[in-house]
């Protein structure tokens, strides 16, 4: 959530920054009016409360001195009524303002260039040189059919389109990649954590998936608070729950409503989870293969750190994800996303794109985002510094999308006969 004080005190700058993210000025103007009205009424309440305190002291002084207190008593009674009425009104205004602000994205920072879409992103660096093939390399879905590695028909049979079944070497390679990624990240200082893949609404609000992206989430039926069988005709109380689209949600929310001791920062976490997205890409795009699936495996990095250390942490996370690709000898590049392509919660994002020779192009395999204090404000994630509770900075990034790494290996390690070699670093995981 953006800072209300910044919205009020530097509205022109906030509006200019969010225009980069294509936020309509009218939306921000409405937020500004709501915030100003709330602040004005809050000051009025504080003045009334100050007068109430002052008059209360005077009332007890007069009473002690046996002076007439009727006028003061009437005034205090009126003040009490006005304060209660204003507090009730302020609570409603605060809820309206917060609900409005929940739909406004994070401010892009100075690293984020202006631009409308992915065509305006900036390539920062290329790592490793793509291999030259003596034959025309195939796309991964062709190789999958040749090797019987990926069963698309059974994915549809078991669920629907955009689901698939990994068989034989593909299933083993997928598992090997997960274990290799977790081991690599742990060696870089990211503690391995296993979390649920089902979360409540509070968690999704904190990290920014709700309310804006509810249509992209897989919502599951509520179930009872306890496991006892409900009596006939009685519907047990349940919760609205969702399948996660990324472990960023669960890892970050471990610290929701937590005041972290200063000495515990930075916190660096890593988790493997299956992930679920109802919206798996534009219609007609990547309909073949496993580039865009409703269910996919991902190893996620999340960090919580000091505000003046978040840029440094982002570099570490980028290098960590890149280090895995280097070990796998997969050519890739870093891309700075422009404002028009930046995610809702991100202040700046560097994508890592891997080379796919079958497609003859680079494709995203990771996004490393500095969210700054946007999620911390929504989820009240703070650290203790003396007597002050300060909003921490949070960061997240894939390290890596497992399915896309599998695709990259298939296309970069293919042979002319359609067979696929295994990267040397993974062989010990394939035993």
**Per-residue tokens: 321:** 């994800």
Q: For 187, phi and psi rounded to 5 degrees?
A: -65, -25
pLDDT tens-place string over residues 77-110: 999 999 999 999 999 999 999 999 999 999 999 9
Which residue in 366, 338, 335 sits closest to 22, CA to CA?
338
- Give pLDDT, residue 230: 52
Residue 238: pLDDT over 90: no
Buried b (16+ CB within 10 A) or exposed e, 259-274: ebeeeebbbbbbbbbe
> Quick one: average pLDDT of 30-44?
94
For the segment(s) 4-101, the CATH number from 1.10.3470.10, 1.10.287.40, 2.50.20.10, 3.30.565.10 is 1.10.287.40
Q: How open is the CA angle 48-53-55, to the nearest 5 degrees?
A: 90
Q: For 170, phi and psi rounded to 5 degrees?
A: -65, -40
> What percentage of the chain reaches a pLDDT higher than 90?
86
DSSP per-residue letters across 100-146: HHTTSPPPP-TTSPP-SSGGG-EEEEEESPPPPPSS-PPPHHHHHHH
- Give pLDDT, residue 235: 47
236: which DSSP letter?
P
**Per-residue tokens: 147:** 């090797």
> Across the chain, which distance is largest between two alpha carbons, in Å?
105
Residue 234: pLDDT over 70: no
Name residue 388's beta-bridge partners.
Answer: 385
Which residue in 340, 335, 336 sits closest to 20, CA to CA?
340
- Provide the mean pLDDT of the chain: 93
Question: Alpha helices, DSSP H only, in 281-413?
Answer: 310-327, 374-379, 402-412
- What is the Cα–Cα distance from 292 to 51, expressed in whole angstroms? 62
Beta pairing class for 388-391 and 382-385:
antiparallel
> Quick one: average pLDDT of 164-174?
96
Q: Hey, how many other C-beta atoms are within 10 angstroms of the C-beta on 198?
A: 16
> Quick one: average pLDDT of 28-33?
94
Q: What share of the chain is helix, strand, coil (3-state, %, to 5)?
A: 45, 20, 35
DSSP per-residue letters across 68-106: --HHHHHHHHHHHHHHHHHHHHHHHHHHHHHHHHTTSPP
Query: Which numeric CATH code is attached to 118-196+244-430?
Result: 3.30.930.10
- Give pLDDT, residue 62: 85
- Give pLDDT, residue 221: 75
Which residue in 312, 302, 303 sits closest to 266, CA to CA?
303
- Give pLDDT, residue 67: 87
> What percentage of the chain reaches a pLDDT higher than 70?
94
pLDDT tens-place string over residues 251-292: 999 999 999 999 999 999 999 999 999 975 555 557 788 999
pLDDT tens-place string over residues 340-386: 999 999 999 999 999 999 999 999 999 999 999 999 999 999 999 99
Beta pairing class for 393-401 and 361-372:
antiparallel
Q: Judge contact between 299 and 269, C-beta under 8 A.
A: no
Domain segments of the chain: what residues? 4-101, 118-196+244-430
> Quick one: average pLDDT of 321-328?
98
User: Which of 36-40, 280-284, 298-302, 343-347 has the lowest average pLDDT?
Assistant: 280-284
Predicted confidence band at 200 (pLDDT cuts at 50, 70, 90)? very high
């Amino acid at each position: 959530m953006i800072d209300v004080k910044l919205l009020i005190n530097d509205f022109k700058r906030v509006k200019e920054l969010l225009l980069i993210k294509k936020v309509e000025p009218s939306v921000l103007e409405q937020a500004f009016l709501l915030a100003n009205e709330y602040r004005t009424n809050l000051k009025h309440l504080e003045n009334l409360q100050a007068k109430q305190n002052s008059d209360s002291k005077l009332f007890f002084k007069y009473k002690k001195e046996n002076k007439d207190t009727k006028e003061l008593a009437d005034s205090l009674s009126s003040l009490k009524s006005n304060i209660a009425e204003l507090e009730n009104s302020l609570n409603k205004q605060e809820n309206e303002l917060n609900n409005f602000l929940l739909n406004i994205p994070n401010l892009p920072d100075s690293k984020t260039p202006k631009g409308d879409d992915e065509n305006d992103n900036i390539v920062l660096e290329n790592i490793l040189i793509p291999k030259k093939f003596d034959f025309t390399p195939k796309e991964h879905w062709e190789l999958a059919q040749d090797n019987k590695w990926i069963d698309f028909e059974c994915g549809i049979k078991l669920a629907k389109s955009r689901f698939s079944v990994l068989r034989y070497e593909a299933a083993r390679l997928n598992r090997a990649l997960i274990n290799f990624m977790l081991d690599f990240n742990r060696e870089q200082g990211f503690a391995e954590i296993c979390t649920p893949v089902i979360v409540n609404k509070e968690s999704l609000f904190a990290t920014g998936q709700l309310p804006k992206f509810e249509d992209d989430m897989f919502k599951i039926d509520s179930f009872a608070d306890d496991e006892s069988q409900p009596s006939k005709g009685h519907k047990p109380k349940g919760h609205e729950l969702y399948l996660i689209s990324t472990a960023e949600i669960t890892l970050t929310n471990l610290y929701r409503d937590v005041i972290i001791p200063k000495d515990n920062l930075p916190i660096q976490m890593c988790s493997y989870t299956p992930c679920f997205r109802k919206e798996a890409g534009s219609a007609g795009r990547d309909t073949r293969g496993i580039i865009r699936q409703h269910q996919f495996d991902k190893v996620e990095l999340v960090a919580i750190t000091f505000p003046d250390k978040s840029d440094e942490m982002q570099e570490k996370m980028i290098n960590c994800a890149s280090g895995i690709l280097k070990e796998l000898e997969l050519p890739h590049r870093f891309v700075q996303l422009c404002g028009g392509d930046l995610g809702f919660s991100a202040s700046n994002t560097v994508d890592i794109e891997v080379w796919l020779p079958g497609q003859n192009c680079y494709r995203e395999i990771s996004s490393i985002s500095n969210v700054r204090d946007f999620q911390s404000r929504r989820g009240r994630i703070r650290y203790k510094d003396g007597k002050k509770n300060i909003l921490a900075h949070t960061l997240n990034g894939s390290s890596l999308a497992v399915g896309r790494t599998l695709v990259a290996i298939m296309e970069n390690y293919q042979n002319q006969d359609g067979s696929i070699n295994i990267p040397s670093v993974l062989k010990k995981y394939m035993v």
